[in-house]
Structure 1
């Protein structure tokens, strides 16, 4: 039974608002508590004045003002907090939190070392990077991603049943990478090398949401984690490039070449370990990069929109068709994936209660442009398959573009209705969250079924 005024029905909205507030780096838990108390008090006053609970909630949120303004105000009053976030790992400064942080740090180091060691173990059996491409290419994700999943599962205290599922999925990935004995020239080897890390990343996602597997909100949190992890990994890679440059410069100055150490140890071990380190940084420093990533999204969304529109105009004026050979297929699929990534990350960082703005219209233009390109590529692929027959590359591209087409069509429709104020933002968010398993299923299909289906071509 709910109260007549319907205030109990607002609890999901309060929870969603609270979740968004707690992502602000300038706001502590005590600040969020204070703001939530103020919001609830305003809702109670408005309900007592005769407003319906839903109307009272919207009016109260509007009265509180923009969360950006609130965050800036807290930042001015507590300017030291951002610096603490940059250099400290403690969550609240309490002894229990400090102990937990130290344990997580030890677990992260152990998993990072495990990843670094894993990538060198095959050399004990005579397998080298340059000589055994057919082994290393599909197995790269298996050297690092299980350790990241292990860290996340340990941090979230995953149950034994879920840990068993994670181990089974990684074991299935190992079977898919090694059971088919694909040659260096095989198209299926390239497809497995591309799709297996994608499939395994969704296994990492299962470890990430292991504290609340059924909550849709945790899936969107994993989308945000993915974007922030990518930013941190790129930053680590850039720092590693500087380290390598200084290593070469200093050692060559005394007549010693560090090339063997750099190529055989520093790069592979560092790249594998950085996967877990980046995940740990997201967990403990997410308030810092969370301010950067949405800015990058807003910067690149108009740029990609301009590029896609320019391509469509040029394609309309030119007589040439689209080259659908393997490199071109990969390029177009990556382009569409980047567009989808920009859309997903901007959704994860958006205030769910904010009204439609100009950026939403820009996203609609981006999605419609990507949709048009997807249709063109699909028509070219179907035409080539009809004329010359199918190959593993073309079949995989056909399936991926069809999956992206379905997502883009409905996303464009929801964005159009969102811009027209006929559909709430939550509908777009639910669609993207619900569609995530489709990508995982397709990646496993390509990895497990395509090689035997096409006679390991």
Structure 2
């Protein structure tokens, strides 16, 4: 797993461990950062040794001097950010496909790239076959997650070299959901079928998380790594989609000038292969170039947090001004759920991108304001949903939306409380991070329950 937020130094010296051994261990940890080259590490080591020598002259022994010197130099993350700022041109060198530090690593990278491309093509073939064989639109929508996500999970399983027992546990949710989604007698495009189709990818994404953490799902830091992976995957996939959209637009223009119709080729071949293939490639980019996005993540969270806060305040005003909550438009309530999920995703990604050793600051207070605003919107939405259910009765959509809002309410209330205590200096940031990661499996369990239990409870309508 990625050890991004540690200092890289033990809290206390190991008996009998010499200064040179400690410095070597520190240097190896520093060099894990892609922003720090070997020459940078030499410079940092010289500075560290000078600090140790100065502290030793004051009467400290080697172990004490080493620990104090490392503390003074700051966390590896801070050093990495400083080197990234001073050598911004390295960002582009991080994006090359094959490293230049030896033939062995180059062969490894090319082998991994070939595996990724093969799995991307496999995902495209699966989607294309699904479009042909599952000629029923509703049947295809039910199974789209099953056509793509196994290839992504397969890449992560190959990357992590999972053991047969873990692979069997990883395959189980895919098999169970495949049976449920294709055996249940859904009414075509009925409420329960749409609900199951929307929640199945969420449940399957939890299975992908099992592959990502290598089966070690119980560790908080592993789940937080998966949160980072999810956010970075969204960033890379969006960048690939934008670039691919430009290329497709130019291609369509050329076809139009030549008097040819590009749309059939686009719908039948290009999109079925490019979209799922880009999803797998984006996952590979996250794995291979994770430190590049890590420099972008804090910027994105600081840009979108205040914008989302303004949007929530406006939305709360619109909901309150709408008057009769029972008459609130269903589309508006669906949009509210979407916004709350966006807030949750932004909160999780912000926490995953934050240095846990840093003190509370203005941005942490802004995040608390964001969560409080989300709670206000969620309270209004919950009131509207309960009012509608009381007046018009329960339906699958209403019950599922109500359950999701209750889950979000619990998540955000505890998050707000822990954020407040952190700002007050009464709880460490680690407590807030632990709550986020430990609550995530609840969403996976909820998604499975919606897919498996809700359809038969409402007669598959």
TM-score by length of structure 2 reads 0.85
- Which residue number in structure 2 is paired with residue 7 of structure 1? 12
Preserved contact between residue 183 and residue 189 of structure 1 (Cα < 8 Å): yes
Query: In 2, Cα distance between the equivalents of 1:304 and 1:264?
Result: 37
Spell out, residue by residue over 1:184-242, the C-alpha distance to the aligned partner (whole angstroms, 9 max, x if none).
Answer: 34111111121111111111111110074443212111100100100111111112211
Q: Output the CA distance in 1 between the equivalents of 2:32 and 2:374.
A: 30
- In the other structure, the counterpart of 2:395 is 391
Query: Partner of 2:117 in structure 1?
Result: 109
Deviation at 1:181, TM superposition (A): 3.3
Q: Match of 1:86, SS?
A: coil
Change (3 A) 1:23 1:187: farther
Structure 1 residues 398 and 31, CA gap change in structure 2 (3 angstroms): farther
Moved more, 78-87 or 347-356: 78-87
What is the 5 A alignment of 1:283-362?
283-316=287-320, 319-321=323-325, 326-362=330-366
Q: Deviations over 1:409-445 (max 9, x none)?
A: 1100010011111111000011111111111100111
From 226, 229, 240, the counterpart of 2:233:
229
Determine which of 412, 416, 422 is the counterpart of 1:418.
422
SS in 1 for 2:414: helix
Give the equivalent residue in structure 2 for 1:12.
none
CA 1:79–1:405 in 2, change beyond 3 Å: closer, same or farther?
A: closer
User: Structure 2 matches for 1:366-385, cutoff 5 A?
Assistant: 366-385=370-389
- The SS at the match of 2:289 is helix
**CA deviation after TM superposition for structure 1 residue 183, in Å:** 2.7
Specify the alignment match of 2:437 in structure 1.
433
Deviation at 1:339, TM superposition (A): 0.5
Change in 2 beyond 3 A, CA 1:427/1:156: same
Find the partner of 1:27 among 17, 36, 41: 36
The alignment's TM-score, normalised by the length of structure 1, stands at 0.86
Of residues 170, 178, 185, the one that matches 2:182 is: 178
* Structure 2 gap segments, 5+ residues each: 1-9, 15-25
| Equivalent residue, structure 1, for 2:22 | none
Distance 1:142 1:20, change over 3 A: farther
Indicate how the Cα distance of structure 1 residues 385 and 270 shifts in structure 2: closer, same or farther if over 3 A, else same: same
CA distance 1:356–1:148, shift in 2 (3 Å): same
**Cα distance in 1 between the residues matched to 2:121 and 2:357:** 43
Partner of 1:84: 93
Gaps of 5+ in 1: 10-16
The answer for the alignment partner of 2:105 in structure 1 is 97
Counterpart-to-counterpart distance in 1, 2:27 and 2:421: 26
Shift of 1:447: 0.8
Residues 336 and 383 from structure 1, CA distance in 2 versus in 1: closer, same or farther, beyond 3 angstroms? same
Aligned-residue CA RMSD (Å): 3.3
Aligned length: 438
